């Protein structure tokens, strides 16, 4: 058991920090100082900068474009990105379908898709939930029927985050309705923009932005070579991928950014003759949440270290999802409290009425109510722990 | 970076786990809580033979030369059996200070016999008014001839009723809550002027109220720098907090596992109660808190040896907060899920519950550690 950094790792951190400082464009840095809600175009701008450097996919094997870092380097890199408030990259390609293709894809699929995930030329989204298949994902109904060399897709996906920007979507489709519902599902990749019959309509969220969409499939033809894994074997893919997803959506990095922002806002907020950050009761509230975040970071670090030893993310990643998202919400609630009357502000409040650093806080506070819902609601995560880890009996 | 146990650590953990299973299950503690001393000198001697009492001390002090985290792994296993021998007061607190500050003669006289399991120690620092403030100390040590005389009252001295020697915090100069002017002395448990009132605690373990009335000690009993004890005491109490987290981890893990087993076994409405979603979700949250406790405890134990005081304090306060809040969630819900029998004395769960609540009160509660954390300089620098 050892936590210390070697001189090489300390030098690596210095190198990463210096590079981020020089590589991050001024307009992104200025956004990083506030609530830092990055537009899609800004996220992709940063994606391309990381790609050019060769640092876009720290967790991918070197043979397929990863930098060949060990767990400590990846951790240091992640910490430095958070420290700089750099834009969070979209997880659907790099974090989800990419690793899945590396594990289960054919050589042709890897050749076709992985390079463009890395370069950011192709943006991905996830077609899992349907209007009638939310927490009960396996009851999904979008049909894929074989016709010649193609699958013909019919049905509707919803909560497809980033679909409005995406080139490709990975879809869970029903290929067999006769047996157990988990056993008739197939994992299929579809070209969102060039497939006739696919239409995307974004939702306006309570955060005032259009984070996710509804996506319709009407006789949309997709070649069968776009299937990942065996036909009717999609549920295994889905579960493997959800494990990856849950390690990513704990929001630990975002929570760290929110805490930093909270302290910056509190340092600039007058209370009586002093500042909010000097208030012992408020500091204690920040401290409580920061300490809990620290404990969670350690859980994550242990999970990452286990992954480094070749163990797949197991159901314990559900903890990161549950505790991480609930903590993230609590932290945004604290930032809202720090705002006082400025909590009334919105995205279009003029700068005279709302300090720039506070803009976007209310939007994110609202949007992040989704954090305990997406990626498998926290109640579903608790079911998974009860069933898969604690082996409690089913009703 | 690596969180796996080394081969040596795994052997140590297995050895202690076997000891608890075969020689010190909870029934042993049940018997001992009725006894005067509350623990057994024979068991203590055996722990000395097995080398457990010397783990964190350098080899030149007669120790094992291992790190604090190794001791934490031992404490975690002992916590699973509520083993009552005075590891924290004797090894972590008083032993730690003797190793850190003692002269060769002091170590030979007080530390070596403890490491060998022939004697036990205690640290007398807290007072009625001090709460968790380490430098709020009314006990005084005045020069008297070549030595000192100590007067004052110390509360909740862990193992104070049985210790052969007490390390006592006393003020040698300065105002009653000044940071400077504190010194440590080694006082014999049976010395004239030392009155020890045995104080049985909620958890079935023993402490003492120690009254010092012109207790005389020689000049050779001053431990460490005169007037400069505070940073060393802070160090020792931090390690006490880390040790409480380690022992507490064993109790939390045990309670959690016993609760999950009970959910599978207890039948109501014709089905195991563990099939009810309301209880499954409670159990899932208990699992999460147990893992958070484990992770923060390990980090604290590793950083207990850190050179930099802020690093040590940040991680230990984090773990102590988690023990006190997250651990509480586990212990409170364990009793709830056991139902009525959870509040009977014949059931072991209540014993774990009480031991945990004691560990939570020791060495700073949740508010204390949150407040200390927000005073660290790193709190307001960007992280």
A-B C-beta contacts closer than 8 Å = 150
Residue B353 has pLDDT above 70, yes or no: yes
Q: Is A276 on the interface with B (CB under 8 A)?
A: no
Range A281-305 average pLDDT: 91
Residue of chain A minimizing CA distance to B300: A295
Nearest 10 degrees: Cα torsion A87, A291, A317, A72: 60
Residue A7 has pLDDT above 80, yes or no: yes
Q: Which residues contact A155 (CB under 8 A, 6 or more apart)?
A: A130, A141, A142, A143, A173, A174, A216, A217
Q: pLDDT value at position B3? A: 73
Residue of chain B minimizing CA distance to A384: B284
Q: pLDDT value at position A313? A: 64
Contact at CB, A390 and B280, closer than 8 angstroms: yes
Which CATH superfamily, name and number, covers B7-120? Acyl-CoA dehydrogenase/oxidase, N-terminal domain (1.10.540.10)
A101, HSE (Cβ side, Cα atoms, 13 Å)? 28
Nearest 10 degrees: Cα torsion A282, A287, A293, A299: -160
Q: Is A62 on the interface with B (CB under 8 A)?
A: no
Q: Is A10 on the interface with B (CB under 8 A)?
A: no
Contact at CB, A1 and B4, closer than 8 angstroms: yes
d(CA A221, CA A151): 6
In this structure, whether the domain defined by A249-389 belongs to CATH 3.90.650.10 is answered with no
Residue B264 with chain A: CB contacts under 8 Å: 391-393
Domain boundaries, chain A: 7-89, 123-234, 249-389
Contact at CB, A386 and B4, closer than 8 angstroms: no
Q: pLDDT value at position A2? A: 66
Q: pLDDT value at position A243? A: 66
CATH architecture observed for domain A123-234: Beta Barrel (2.40)
Q: What is the pLDDT of residues B79-118, one digit of tens each?
A: 999 999 999 999 999 999 999 999 999 999 999 999 999 9
Q: pLDDT value at position A356? A: 86
Average confidence score pLDDT of chain A: 91
Q: Is A395 on the interface with B (CB under 8 A)?
A: yes
Backbone angles phi, psi at A303, to 5 degrees: -65, -40
Q: Is A262 on the interface with B (CB under 8 A)?
A: no
In which band, very low, low, confident or very high, does the pLDDT at B295 lie, cut at 50, 70 and 90?
A: very high
Using DSSP, state whether B381 is helix, strand or coil: coil
Q: What is the pLDDT of residues A10-42, one digit of tens each?
A: 999 999 999 999 999 999 998 887 766 788 999
Can you read off the two tokens belonging to residue B256? 């959690």
Residues 80-119 (A) with a CB less than 8 A from some CB of B: 83
- Count Cβ atoms below 10 Å from residue B243 Cβ, excluding itself: 33
Strand partners of residue B383: none
Q: What is the pLDDT of residues B47-72, one digit of tens each?
A: 999 999 999 999 998 898 889 999 99
DSSP A371: G
- May I ask the CATH class of domain B231-380? mainly alpha
Q: pLDDT value at position A170? A: 97
- Count Cβ atoms below 10 Å from residue A224 Cβ, excluding itself: 15
Q: Give how far Cα B278 sits from Cα of A390, B284, B331, Å.
A: 14, 10, 17
CB B142 within 8 Å of CB B107: no
Percent of chain B with pLDDT over 70: 99
Which of B272, B296, B374 comes nearest A295 by C-beta? B296
Does A121 participate in catalysis according to the annotation?
Answer: no
Q: Is A301 on the interface with B (CB under 8 A)?
A: yes
Which CATH superfamily, name and number, covers B123-228? Butyryl-CoA Dehydrogenase, subunit A, domain 2 (2.40.110.10)
d(CA A146, CA B198): 82
Closest by alpha carbon to B70, among B321, B304, B363?
B304
Percent of chain A with pLDDT over 90: 70
Least confident of A29-33, A157-161, A334-338, B316-320: A29-33
Contact at CB, A1 and B69, closer than 8 angstroms: yes
Range B369-378 average pLDDT: 93
Average confidence score pLDDT of chain B: 96
Can you read off the two tokens belonging to residue A229? 């894994």
Which of A290, A295, A382 comes nearest B281 by C-beta? A382
d(CA B117, CA B17): 20
Q: Is A311 on the interface with B (CB under 8 A)?
A: no
pTM (2 d.p.): 0.92
Query: Nearest CA of chain A to the CA of B352: how many Å?
Result: 21
Domain boundaries, chain B: 7-120, 123-228, 231-380
Which of A1, A283, A294 comes nearest B374 by C-beta? A283
Q: What is the pLDDT of residues B229-252, one digit of tens each?
A: 999 999 999 999 999 999 999 999
Residue A2 with chain B: CB contacts under 8 Å: 1-2, 302
Contact at CB, B302 and A3, closer than 8 angstroms: yes
Residue A286 with chain B: CB contacts under 8 Å: 374, 379
Residue B383 has pLDDT above 80, yes or no: no
Range A367-387 average pLDDT: 92
- Per CATH, A123-234 and A249-389 having the same topology is answered no
d(CA B32, CA A308): 46
Question: Of the residues A122, A245, A254, A358, which is catalytic?
Answer: A245
Range B333-344 average pLDDT: 96
**Planar angle of CA B198, B200, B202, nearest 5 degrees:** 160
Report the Cα B60 to chain-centroid distance in Å: 25
Query: Nearest CA of chain B to the CA of A337: how many Å?
Result: 18
In which band, very low, low, confident or very high, does the pLDDT at A306 lie, cut at 50, 70 and 90?
A: confident
Q: Is A52 on the interface with B (CB under 8 A)?
A: no
Which of A1, A318, A394 comes nearest B275 by C-beta? A394
Q: What is the pLDDT of residues B117-172, one digit of tens each?
A: 999 999 999 999 999 999 999 999 999 999 999 999 999 999 999 999 999 999 99
Which of A280, A298, A305 comes nearest B299 by C-beta? A298
CB B97 within 8 Å of CB B224: yes
Q: What is the pLDDT of residues A77-133, one digit of tens each?
A: 988 998 888 998 998 999 899 999 999 999 999 999 999 999 999 999 999 999 999
Using DSSP, state whether A327 is helix, strand or coil: helix
d(CA A211, CA A202): 7
DSSP A368: G
In sequence order, what E strands does B221-274 have?
222-223, 267-268, 271-272
Q: What is the pLDDT of residues B17-29, one digit of tens each?
A: 999 999 999 999 9
State the ipTM, two decimals. 0.92
d(CA B74, CA A147): 65
Closest by alpha carbon to B87, among B61, B65, B62, B114?
B114
Q: pLDDT value at position A59? A: 87
Residue A1 has pLDDT above 80, yes or no: no
Q: pLDDT value at position B1? A: 61
Closest by alpha carbon to B306, among B250, B254, B235?
B235
- Label the pairing between strands B121-124 and B271-272: unpaired
d(CA B239, CA B224): 18
């Amino acid at each position: 058991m050892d936590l210390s950094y070697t001189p090489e790792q300390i030098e690596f951190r210095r190198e990463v920090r210096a590079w981020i400082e020089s590589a991050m464009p001024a307009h992104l840095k200025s956004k990083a100082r506030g609530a830092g809600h990055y537009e899609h175009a800004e996220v992709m701008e940063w994606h391309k900068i990381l790609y050019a450097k060769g640092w876009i996919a720290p967790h991918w094997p070197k043979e397929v474009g990863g930098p060949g870092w060990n767990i400590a380097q990846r951790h240091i890199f992640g910490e430095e990105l958070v420290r700089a408030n750099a834009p969070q990259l979209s997880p659907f390609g790099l974090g989800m379908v990419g690793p899945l293709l590396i594990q289960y894809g054919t050589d042709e699929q890897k050749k076709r898709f992985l390079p463009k995930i890395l370069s950011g030329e192709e943006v991905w989204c996830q077609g899992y939930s349907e209007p009638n298949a939310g927490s009960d994902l396996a009851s999904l109904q979008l049909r894929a029927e074989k016709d010649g060399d193609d699958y013909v897709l019919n049905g509707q996906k919803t909560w497809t985050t980033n679909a409005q920007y995406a080139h490709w979507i990975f879809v869970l489709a029903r290929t067999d309705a006769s047996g157990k519902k988990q056993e008739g599902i197939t994992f299929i990749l579809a070209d969102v923009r060039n497939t006739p019959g696919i239409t995307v309509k974004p939702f306006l969220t309570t955060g005032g932005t259009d984070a996710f969409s509804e996506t319709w499939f009407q006789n949309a033809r997709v070649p069968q070579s776009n299937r990942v894994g065996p036909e009717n074997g999609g549920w295994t893919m889905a579960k493997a991928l959800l494990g990856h997803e849950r390690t990513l959506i704990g929001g630990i990095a975002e929570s760290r950014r929110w805490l930093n922002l909270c302290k910056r806002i509190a340092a600039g907020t007058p209370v009586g003759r002093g500042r909010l950050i000097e208030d012992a009761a408020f500091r204690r509230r920040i401290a409580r949440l920061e300490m809990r975040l620290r404990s969670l970071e350690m859980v994550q670090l242990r999970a990452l270290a286990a992954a480094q030893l070749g163990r797949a993310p197991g159901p314990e990643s559900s903890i990161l999802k549950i505790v991480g998202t609930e903590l993230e919400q609590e932290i945004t609630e604290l930032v809202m409290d720090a705002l006082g009357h400025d909590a009334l502000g919105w995205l279009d409040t003029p700068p005279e009425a709302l300090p720039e650093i506070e803009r976007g806080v209310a939007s994110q506070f609202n949007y992040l109510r989704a954090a305990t819902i997406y990626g498998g609601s926290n109640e579903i995560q608790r079911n998974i722990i009860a069933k898969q880890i604690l082996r409690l009996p089913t009703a | 970076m690596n969180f796996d146990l080394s081969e040596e650590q795994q052997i140590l953990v297995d050895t202690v786990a076997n000891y608890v299973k075969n020689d010190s299950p909870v029934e042993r503690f049940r018997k001992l809580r009725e006894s005067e001393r509350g623990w057994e000198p024979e068991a203590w001697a055996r722990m000395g033979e097995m080398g457990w009492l010397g783990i964190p001390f350098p080899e030149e002090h007669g120790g094992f030369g291992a790190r604090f985290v190794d001791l934490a792994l031992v404490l975690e296993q002992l916590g699973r059996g509520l083993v009552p021998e005075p590891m924290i007061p004797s090894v972590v607190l008083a032993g730690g200070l003797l190793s850190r500050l003692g002269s060769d003669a002091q170590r030979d006289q007080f530390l070596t016999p403890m490491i060998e399991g022939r004697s036990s120690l205690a640290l007398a620092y807290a007072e009625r008014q001090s709460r968790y403030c380490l430098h709020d100390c009314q006990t005084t040590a005045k020069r008297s001839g070549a030595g000192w005389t100590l007067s004052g009252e110390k509360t909740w001295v862990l193992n104070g009723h049985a210790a052969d020697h007490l390390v006592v915090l006393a003020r040698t100069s300065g105002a009653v809550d000044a940071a400077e002017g504190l010194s440590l002395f080694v006082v014999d448990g049976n010395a004239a002027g030392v009155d020890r009132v045995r104080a049985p605690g909620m958890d079935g373990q023993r402490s003492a109220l120690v009254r010092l009335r012109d207790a005389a000690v020689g000049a050779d009993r001053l431990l460490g720098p005169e007037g400069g004890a505070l940073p060393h005491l802070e160090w020792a109490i931090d390690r006490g907090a880390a040790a409480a987290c380690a022992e507490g981890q064993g109790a939390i893990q045990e309670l959690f596992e016993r609760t999950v087993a009970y959910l599978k076994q207890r039948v109501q409405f014709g089905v195991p109660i563990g099939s009810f979603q309301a209880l499954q979700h409670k159990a899932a949250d208990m699992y999460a808190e147990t893992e958070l406790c484990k992770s923060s405890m390990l980090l604290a134990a590793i950083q207990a040896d850190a050179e930099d005081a802020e690093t040590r304090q940040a991680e230990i306060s984090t773990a102590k907060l988690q023990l006190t809040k997250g651990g509480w969630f586990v212990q409170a819900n364990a009793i709830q899920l056991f139902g009525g029998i959870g509040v009977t004395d014949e059931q072991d769960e209540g014993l774990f519950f009480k031991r945990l609540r004691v560990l939570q009160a020791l060495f700073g509660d949740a508010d204390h550690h949150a407040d200390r954390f927000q005073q660290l300089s790193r709190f307001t620098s960007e992280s």
